[in-house]
Each structure stands twice: as structure tokens, then as C-alpha cells.
Amino acid sequence: MADKQYYTQNAEDVMKDLGVNDNGLSTEEASARLAQYGENKLAAKKKKSMLSRFIDQFKDFMIIVLLVAALISGVVVHEWADAAIILAVVILNAVFGVLQESRAEAAIESLQAMTSPNAHVRRAGEILVVPSAEVVPGDIVLLEAGDVVPADMRLFDAANLKIEESALTGESVPVDKTIAAVDADSGIGDRTDMAFMSTNVAYGRATGVVTGTGMDTEVGHIAKMLDNQKENQTPLQANLAKLGRVLTWLILAIAVIVFIVGMVRGAETPADMFLTAVSLAVAAIPEGLPAIVTVILALGTQQMAKHNALVRRLPAVETLGSTDIIASDKTGTLTQNKMTVEQTYFDGELRPASAGVRDGSRLLQIMSFANDTQEQEDGKLLGDPTETALVAYAKTRDYDWAGQLKATPRVAEVPFDSERKLMSTLHQLSDGQVLIATKGAPDELLRQATQIDEEAGVRAMTDADRKQILATNHELATQALRVLGMAYRIVPAVPDKVDSANVEHDMIFAGLVAMIDPERPEAKDAVAEAKSAGIRPVMITGDHRDTAQAISERLGIIEKGDSAAVISGRDLDEMDDKTFDEKVGDYSVYARVAPEHKVRIVHAWQSKGKVVAMTGDGVNDAPALKAADIGIAMGITGTEVAKGASAMILADDNFSTIVRAVKAGRKVFANIQKAIQYLLSANLGEVLTLFAMTMLGWDMLAPVHLLWINLVTDTLPAIALGMEHTEPGIMKQKPRGRSSSFLSGGVGSAIIWQGILEGALTLGVYWLAITFPVHTANAAIHADALTMAYVTLGLIQLFHAFNVKTLHQSLFKIKPFSNKSFNWAILIAAAALAVTVLIPGLSGVFHVTSLDLLQWGMVIGAGILMILIVEIVKFFQRRA
């Protein structure tokens, strides 16, 4: 049924095709169709068991290497504490992975929760209330205001019907529905003869025949896209996986070389060399890196939560920092999702709404009388967004709407219908006469108006007046404003027959009111800041092309008059994927789009290597939210479906929050990069030190030395680097791009030369201790030299942690001690290293000797040299 374009057929042909008449299906036929088509529910693919999900997390290459490292650490080297840490990291990552996988299922369950619990159907001529799950194709369904549409329906009877479809189409106002067939190329938002599952009836009543149920509905189509959408690997995950593979093979190769060279040299037994090679590998592999990244990301989420950005999965924090494109839904994200009066026209002049209305004008009275808005006890206005906007405006001008309505009660009405495009209400005046208040489409209203109300009084309307009013209406319409005309008439009594012919004639024109769903006040500045950061904002909406262009111009997304940057869903349908992928850079605004269009837009940008963030709040946004590198849902107006498919939720629905989150994401990446630079340069220093000692035939550091240095220097200082403050100018930099890595931007070369420097300084201290010994006994000389090399290798890493606070800037131009967590981390790590030498009971365990002041001076001097040499190199790098 889903592939049949019922919206193009007249109602009689649709019912004939579905085998049903006005009396509805028989009970037997309904049961048969229920068996044939299944329940009217959304289906999801079979869930994996929790165990199978957990096992899947261990199929990553880096994870396997870490598990082997843990096994060797415990069984071979007997470092059970190190093994326990590695296992804890691996298990923690697996748990996070399992939690992330449940997001898609939560989104499908949210879709199911949106469906109506019951439906009013006509079967065998009787009206029955049945569970929505039992509605079948061919059922005749009755709708009225307040109902949730239970299935996709072709309408064949409708009275003043308006359906709120924003969650499905993104359009900001309820859609007027009719029974007339529409063109075959009409998008979802233009299929005015259809009612769609899970949308809400805002006004009027209707009867229709069900054309699709369950997964054969438009909402079911979205559910299929959600179910089939693959989870994208974030730039962070891709970077870590690539880095892990390269490091693992490199370190394993060096460990093998050290083992072979040691055996050839013959200074150590095979067992000792094997232990040394294994210790080197375990110490050099940054097994703490996943945990450190997790902690840094978690700290980033805490900071972002304070700014109303709630992160649902940790890698999303860093992904924001690499974002190239923000594809944003318009309604409720860039705009307020609240119709607002923006301009008024009366007395021949166009005025901003803030200017108010002159005393004696009936404009406020008409807009609030010809209106079905209801006010709750708490002051909240309920009704059609356009009508509530009119009442809200009248109240802002201190018009006592409720009091005036009570004193001038409604006694009759001529409801709005889509053919004449007018609505009139009749009110009893205190002098016994009757006020007729009429609002509607300006061109239709002018056909019924013969007079005009101005400051000087009421006078006859001229052709010049009509031309000026129509020209003003056109001017406002080109700005994507929704324009309504207001008119009135006072008659002696209520006509015998209250209809359009007897009520809506010889009207007195009072003015025009122009409304729009306005942009959020802070959105324009946020768009400008995003552009300055090299991020391209793209607006996607279900609204009409003119509205989309006007809002995007006001926000600064496109230049004024740049209609070439705007494309509609219908135009998009005419392009194949290859053509669109080539031309996607030409467009910044998409109007009247369907859910599959949004996914195409995301994929087209991704095909160009761009990192795409997609914001949205409706059901229609969910597939694209999941397809994007990072989906961002609105927390206030967002549906649970959108939230379930997203990686981040904006608690305040504020577009500017995204820009602040991008800044936080860039900070997170920079801090992870600092931690990686620190860890890898330190580990490279360890590897080169041991490799050189092996090649030179020197005494080598023991496995316990390497493992303890690795334990005390690789954890707290690296985590503390993740808490560094944001560097100045971070939002003036261009996005890194998908192809960048943690080693880009000069970090890779810095790791190499700084690692070599660490190793060289450590070997230099060892050589000085051998060449200029304090003790005369040869054994004591070598013991002291090894102890000094051990302490130097550890302390030099802690000194170097200050260097990596900034990649190119001088340490002395920033505040090196502003991060209190970092200061404590360095002190604790230094103390943990020093106690192994200073406490006699531990010195035996760690095979070290006590050092005198001169020897401590040499060790600390090497650390100071590390800072000075790096500062000198940075100076020449800046000059270059």
C-alpha cells in the first residue's frame, strides 16, 4: 500500500481500491485484514542480547593488544596491579559501548509511544472505539480536535480541519486540510488531503479511509530509516583506532629488536631479556590512553552541561570540536516556534508591532474577537498558533481581551473555511447593536470591504486604497510574513440566517497584521560566530521556500537576495545522488524537505569529507540526527524520538549553545592532544633509553623501573592536562577536518624530537655518573648511575608535562601554575617516584641506591634543561 499515491486520487477511487464503502469494513473483513497486514505498530529489528553486545566490544585491535598486555603483565612480569588497571580500562570501554548501542532502540520505542492508544472507526455502519493497534487499511476513521491520528489516511470529509504536523514535516503552523487531490510530486507537507499517523488534530473534524498502517506509514518509513542507519565512527574513535594500530606495531617491533640485540650481545640471559622486552612493550604501549581520554571527555561533558548542552555519548564532545557543517532545523532551533506579530498596517502606514495601535482603532478588538483562543487559569493561551499570537499581541498592548469579551459576548459566528479564507464572529454590544468582527486573507477581505477606518473617521474605500493595501500585503508576504486583514461592521441585530452571504459584506477595513515565527534573538550572533570559526551553517526546514529564504537572510546564513543558495525538496528530488554530491556546496537553505532529504544532505556533505552536526526536534529529524557525525536534539520542544536518535541534547533549545559546545569540543581535542603528546613523547623517551643502553652494552634499567615510571607518570599528569583552560583564539581557527589526527599540527614531529631529547638527557645523566663517579667501587658506580637514570627518566617526564601545556607558545607567556589539579598531579607523581629512592625499605624492592645532593642536583638539572631546550626550539619555530 505504501507505494500507492492515494493523495493523487479522488476519495471515491481510493475507497474502491481499498474495497470499502461509507459503512466501513465488516467485523469479519477487519479481522481478516488484521491477520493479513499485522498490527498497526512500528517494528524494530531483533535486539541483540546484552552478552553478545558486550562480547562485540572486544573485537577492536587495540583492545586485543591491551588484553594480551594485561596477560603478560600479570603472568610473566607478575605486575598484577598493572594488569588490573588495563583490564579495568578495557571493561569500562566495553560497558560504554553497550550503553551507546541501545540508543537506536530507544528512538524506535519513542516513535511507538507517540501513536494514539484508541481510534474511532466506522465498521458495518456503527461507530466503534478500538485500540489503534487494531486499525487496518480500509478502516473508516473519524477525527476531531485533540485526536492523535492513528494511521495514514486519505480524507474524504473535512470541516475546518487543521492538523499540527511539525513533528513530522517541520512546518511551524498547523496545516489546513481539504479533500481535493493534489499533484503526484507534492511533498509530505503539501499533501493536504492526507492525515498522517502520530500527528495531532488541532482544529475541526474529518473522516478518512486508512491507506497505511504500522511500517507502511510515513512515521513507519522514518522508523525504517532509523533502524537501518549505521552508527558513524566519530573522528575521535577513528583517530584513536589509527593511532593504536600504528603504535602497537611500532612498539612490538622495537621490543623484538631489543630482545634480539640483547641476545646477540650476550650480557643477559634469554629469560631476563624476554622480561625486559615485555616490560618495555607494556610500559611503552599507552594502555592508560583510553581511560585518560574517557576522563577528559567526561570532564568536558560536565563543563558543557553547565551551559545546557547534555551529552549522551562521550565521543560527541570531541566531535563537536571538529565540526565543519551545522545542518540546523529552522523551527524551534533557529526560530522560537512561536508565531509573533511583527508589523501592523493602519491609517495608510506600515508600523513595527512595538509602535502599538492608535486610540479609537478597532484593530486590537477585531484580532482578539474573531478568534477561538482559550486562556487557562495560569494565563497560558491555547489554540491555533496564529490566533494565540493575535491575542498575545493584544494583551501586550494592555488590551483587556477577557474583560472586553465578557462585556461584548459572542452570540454567533461564521467559522473559517479554506475556500473563502475568512472567519467572522458576532458580538452583542451594550446599546443593543451587534458587532461583526472579521479576519482573513487580505485579498478576500478587500472584496467584501467598502469603507476604511482611519484616524479622521470612517470613509469610503477608493481604488487607490485597495492598491496600496494589496501592495503592502505583497511587500510583507515577500518577507515571509503571514498577513491577515481585519475588518468590522455594526448591524442592528443578528441576521436571521448567519452565513457568509448575510454577514461578510459592506465591511469596514481596519488594518493588516503581519506575523512570523521569529528568529531566536541570540541566533544571529551564533551564526556569525560559527562562520568566524570556519563552520558553515545550513538551514533545513519544512516551511515554504520564501519563508526559509527570509529567515535565513535575517540570520545571516545567506546574503540578502541570494535565492540561488535556496533549494526545495521538489528540486532535490530531481537530482540524482552524484549530481547532488557535486552541487551540495551551492546550497545553504533547504525548504519543504522530507526526512529522506535530510539524510541525503548529511551524506552529501560527509562524502566531501566534512564532519556534520545536525540539529532538530521533530520525528522527521530523527534519521538525519542518527546519520550525522553528531546529532543534536532540542530538550524543550524536541520529541523523545529526536532525543533518542541524538548524541547531544540542548536543554535550552538555544542555537548559541551549540557554538559554546563547539568551543568546549575544540578545547577537549586540544587537551587530549596535549595528553597524547605528553604520553607518547615520554614513552618514546623510555623506548630510546632502553634501546640505546642495549646497543651500547650499558647496564639496563630493570622491568620494575619501567613499569613504576609508567604507572606514576602516565596517569595523574595526563588526566590533569585534560583540565587545562581554553587557549586564546581557539574559535578563530578553522575546523580540523575529518582527515586530521591527534598527530597533526606539529604534534607528531614534537613527539619525536621531544622523545629523543628525553632519552638523550637520561642517557647523558647516566654517562656523567659513570664518567665522573662519586663512589670508587665499580658496582656502586653502576648502581648509582642506574638509579640516577631511573629517577631522571621519571622526573624529566614531569618537567616535560609543563612544556606540553602549549604546543608553540612560550610556557612563560601563559600561567603555568593556573591549573591547580595539574600542580597537585605533578607533586603526587614526583613524590611517588622519590619515595622509591628515599625510603630504605622500598629501595631494595626497586633495586636503587640513595643519592647525595650533587646527584639529585644533576637529576633535577636535567629536568630544568628539558624545559629550557624546548623553550629555545619553540622560539625558533615561532620565528620561522
What DSSP assignment string belongs to 130-191? EEGGG--TT-EEEEETTPBP-SEEEEEEEEEEEEE-HHHH--SSPEE--SS---TT--GGG-
Instruction: Give all strands (DSSP E) within 370-433, no chain letters.
Output: 374-375, 381-382, 410-414, 422-428
Percent of the chain having pLDDT more than 90? 42
Residue 444 cell numbers, joined: 478576500
**Grid coordinates representing 542?**
519544512
Q: Would you say 601 and 538 are in contact if contact means Cβ atoms under 8 Å apart? A: yes
Q: Is residue 189 part of a domain?
A: yes
pLDDT band with cut points at 50, 70 and 90 for residue 600: very high
Domain presence at residue 555: yes
- Residue 45 is assigned to a structural domain of this protein: no
* 393 vs 357: CA distance, rounded Å: 11
Q: What is the pLDDT of residue 79?
A: 61
pLDDT at 42: 75
64-68, 102-106, 540-544, 660-664: least confidently modelled range: 102-106
Residue at grid coordinates 552541561:
305
> 847 with 791: CB under 8 angstroms?
no
Mean predicted lDDT score pLDDT of the chain = 84
407 and 374, same domain (yes or no):
yes
- Span 688-694, average pLDDT: 84
Strand (E) or helix (H) holding 507:
strand 507-516
**Do residues 168 and 198 make contact, with C-beta atoms less than 8 angstroms apart?**
yes
Pick the residue with more confidence: 825 or 653?
A: 825
Three-state SS at 269: coil
The residues, any chain, with a CB within 8 Å of residue 785's CB and separated by 6 or more, are 699, 766, 769, 770, 773
pLDDT reported for residue 103: 44
Looking at the fold, whether 614 and 553 belong to one and the same domain comes out as: yes
CATH number of the domain that residue 492 is part of: 3.40.1110.10
Q: Give CA–CA dist 274/255, Å, rounded.
A: 9
Residues in a beta bridge with 507: 449
pLDDT surpasses 70 at 531: yes
| pTM attached to this predicted model | 0.68
Identify the pLDDT of residue 73: 62
Residue 309 counted as domain residue: no
Q: Given pLDDT bands bounded at 50, 70 and 90, which one contains residue 307?
A: confident
Q: Is 355 exposed, middle or buried (0-12, 13-18, 19+ CB in 10 A)?
A: exposed
Residue 306 lies inside a defined structural domain of this protein: no
* 448 pLDDT more than 90: yes
Report the C-alpha gap between 839 and 600 in whole angstroms: 66
Which CATH number characterizes residue 549's domain?
A: 3.40.50.1000
Q: Check whether residue 20 and residue 165 sit in a common domain.
A: yes
Mean pLDDT of 140-168: 87
> Confidence class of residue 291 from pLDDT cuts 50, 70 and 90?
low
pLDDT single digits (tens) 392-425: 999 999 999 889 999 999 999 998 877 788 999 9
Angle at 333 between CA 327 and CA 335, to 5 degrees: 120
Select from 228, 252, 286 the last residue of a domain: 228
Domain assignment of residue 305, yes or no: no
Active site residues: 329
Q: Which residue has the higher pLDDT, 203 or 762?
A: 762
| CB contact at 8 A, 350 and 470 | no
Give yes or no: residues 132 and 14 share one domain.
yes
Q: What is the pLDDT of residue 493?
A: 95
pLDDT band at 346 (very low <50, low <70, confident <90, very high): very high
Q: Which domain holds residue 129?
A: 6-37+110-228
CATH number at residue 159: 2.70.150.10
Task: Tell me if 310 is assigned to some domain.
Answer: no
Residue 623 lies inside a defined structural domain of this protein: yes
Same domain as 813, residue 688: yes
Distances (CA, A) of 721 to 40, 302, 564, 824: 54, 16, 47, 12
pLDDT tens per residue across span 172-197: 678 889 899 998 888 888 899 999 98
Q: Which three cell numbers stand for residue 14?
A: 481510493
Where do the H-state alpha helices sit in 38-150?
50-56, 61-71, 80-101, 103-113
Exposed (0-12), middle (13-18) or buried (19+): which is 493, by Cβ within 10 Å?
Answer: exposed
Is the pLDDT assigned to residue 626 strictly greater than 90?
no
One domain, residues 329 and 366: no
pLDDT, one tens digit per residue, over 721-739 is 988 888 878 888 888 777 7
CATH code, domain with 862: 1.20.1110.10
Domain-terminating residue out of 228, 259, 288: 228
Cβ-contact 57, 97 below 8 angstroms: yes
Name the amino acid, one letter, at 683: N
From the number of C-beta atoms within 10 Å of its C-beta (0-12, 13-18, 19+), residue 813 rates as exposed
Q: Which of 140-154, 252-266, 649-663, 854-868 has the lowest mean pLDDT?
A: 252-266
Q: Is residue 833 very low, low, confident or very high in pLDDT (cuts 50, 70, 90)?
A: very high
Query: Residue 488 forms beta bridges with which residues?
Result: 437, 508
End-to-end CA distance of the chain: 68
- Of the residues 660, 690, 715, which one is the last residue of a structural domain? 660
Judge if 652 and 697 occupy the same domain: no
> For the chain, how many structural domains are there in total?
5
Instruction: Please indicate, yes or no, whether residues 624 and 702 belong to a single structural domain of this protein.
Output: no
All three cell numbers of 77, joined, read 612480569
Does residue 641 or residue 158 have the better pLDDT? 158
**More confidently predicted of 238 and 334:** 334
pLDDT higher than 90, residue 237: no
Strand partners, 688: none
In this structure, the answer to whether residues 141 and 196 fall within a common structural domain is: yes
590 and 454 in one domain? no
Q: Which three cell numbers stand for residue 867?
A: 624545559
Report how far residue 794's alpha carbon sits from residue 655's, in angstroms, rounded to the nearest whole number: 46
Residue 571: burial class (beta carbons within 10 Å; 0-12, 13-18, 19+): middle
Lowest mean pLDDT among 88-102, 688-702, 790-804, 835-849: 88-102
Cell of 240: 584513536
In a shared domain, residues 223 and 270: no
**pLDDT value, residue 100:** 42
Band of the pLDDT at 115, cuts 50, 70, 90? very low
- CA distances in angstroms from 841 to 30, 779, 833, 850, listed in the order given: 86, 20, 14, 11
61 in the same domain as 192: no
pLDDT value of residue 774: 65
- The per-residue pLDDT for 861 is 95
* pLDDT at residue 110 is higher than 70: no
